[in-house]
Amino acid sequence: MSRRTALAVAAVVLFGSCSRLGVGIPECERIVNNPSPAMVLSLQAVPTAMYAPCINSLQLGWDNLDFEVESGKASFSITHADMMAPFFTATLTEKCDIGNATPVPHPDIEKYELIRSIGSDIKVTIIPSAEGPLIHARTLAEEFEDVRVDGRRVLFTVDPDITFAVRSRVNRALFTNQFVWIISELDVNEDTLEMRSTPEGEGARGLAANEALQRIEELAPEVVYEGNWYFVFDGGCITYEFDAHGTVAETVADDVVTSLGFYPLADLRELGRRQGIDVGVPGGG
């Protein structure tokens, strides 16, 4: 075993509690005879694991990576130039509690997600009260088809089901969309509308469409991507924890898929065995 690897293994023995170590980035590049000390530490922390999280590349703006290790756990957090606290953490443990997370297809590894996401698109449902307002609503949706608010697309959906009460349709729409425009016969005559952003709110009446768009700019929720992804396999679990807001949240899911990977620990385990170091059995045991 190289001196670099031996020092990394020794570090785990010396640090029994949580420690922040200057051992570099847990890189996905596989150099079997001279592995990343961070990757060796990950294996030592969870000896039964088949995989450990690793970095292929850092995205523009990902300006700090903090690697931590303790017995039974190895993790790294990433911060962004636009955010003080970490927006992403990857953690390797022997087990994890996935709770109510939903299974998601993924090659080779079981994946589960429990995510709250507010995308960059702003969604508006237009609810007409009768046939005349329905025609007006469709015209309005076409007129503003390409509109943007603060650089974000505004997507309009017209609810054509005028046989049901407006109140019930408003409440239903606000469960899935962020804003509702209500158009009555009077609104058609005066070229106005009523806007709601919560089921309980009284809304703002008598607004011109452009005024409603200005209010949307003031009220639109920040883009958010937060929650967990879980990757479950024999002998271990990798948790991706997201807490991304604003522009970082718009692309964080795709950026993580591109930038991170799963390091197969079998080669490191075999290297340790050849050097007489017990590094556990994949999948436990």
3-state secondary structure of 257: helix
User: Does the structure show a pLDDT above 90 at 24?
Assistant: no
Q: State the burial class of residue 267 (Cβ atoms within 10 Å of its Cβ: 0-12, 13-18, 19+).
A: middle
pLDDT in tens, 143-163: 999 999 988 999 999 999 999
- What is the pLDDT averaged over residues 240-263? 94
What letter would DSSP give residue 285?
Answer: -
User: Does the structure show a pLDDT above 80 at 279?
Assistant: no
Distance CA 255, CA 102 (A): 21
User: Does the structure show a pLDDT above 70 at 9?
Assistant: no
Distance CA 170, CA 159 (A): 10
Which regions of the chain does DSSP assign to beta strands (E)?
19-20, 51-55, 62-70, 73-80, 88-93, 102-104, 110-118, 122-128, 148-149, 152-158, 179-183, 193-196, 204-207, 224-233, 236-245, 260-264
pLDDT in tens, 62-112: 887 889 999 999 999 999 887 778 999 999 999 999 999 999 999 889 999
Question: pLDDT band at 10, cuts 50/70/90?
Answer: very low
Domains plus CATH for the chain?
A: 3-118+223-274 (no CATH), 122-219 (3.40.50.800)
Span of 138-142, 167-171, 192-196 with lowest mean pLDDT? 167-171
Distance CA 85, CA 266 (A): 34
Question: pLDDT band at 38, cuts 50/70/90?
Answer: confident
Task: Quote the pLDDT of residue 84.
Answer: 76
Residue 82 dihedral angles phi and psi, to the nearest 5°: -95, 0
Of 255, 285, 275, 237, the residue nearest 53 (C-alpha): 237
pLDDT in tens, 72-86: 999 999 998 877 789
Task: Quote the pLDDT of residue 277.
Answer: 66
Task: Quote the pLDDT of residue 272.
Answer: 72
Q: Which residue has the higher pLDDT, 17 or 222?
A: 222
Most distant pair of Cα atoms in the chain: their distance: 86
The per-residue pLDDT of the chain, averaged, comes to: 86
- What is the pLDDT averaged over residues 47-76? 91
pLDDT in tens, 255-278: 999 999 999 988 788 777 777 666
User: Does the structure show a pLDDT above 50 at 14?
Assistant: no
Distance CA 52, CA 28 (A): 9
